[in-house]
Structure 1
Amino acid sequence: MKVNPMHSLNAYQKQQNVGAKKKADVNKKHDQLQISSAAKQMQEMSRITTERQEKVERIKAEIDQGTYKVDAKEVAKKFYEFWD
């Protein structure tokens, strides 16, 4: 069997070229993020969220002013409804 040193060199060069192409292909690929329409809807502020935020801001202002009053009967009623 005759060994051609040039043939083996060509195989080595071909392997390097294939490796370089793979590296180039990897560099071209990018990560992508896709958000479903349901997730987009969840991100939007709903009417309830807006109303709740307004209520929280109002209560914070009342606490800061010292005018916030706790209705003990209402608190007890909510506890009772929760544990009932």
Structure 2
Amino acid sequence: MKINPFRPVDNNPYKRQVSKTEQPQAPGKTDKVEISAEAKEMQQTPSIVKEREARIADLKNQVQSGNYKIDHKAVAKSIAKFFEL
């Protein structure tokens, strides 16, 4: 039985894969995000902003004074609802 000496193989699939990823992507393709008019209106509604600021200020005061109470059952329910399949 004759054993030939080791020769490098030119057919390496990993080299082909690397050469494919190095190709530049087609120019001109960009991502685009459009926000609807309703969403823009909701962001600019002053009543919602004022309500949110008042709620945040109230929560900050409760936390600083030590009166903030956590409803453990509600937290557990929301966690369970989040992980439902």
TM-score normalized by structure 1? 0.44
Q: Which has the larger radius of gyration?
A: 1
Structure richer in helix, relative to its length:
1
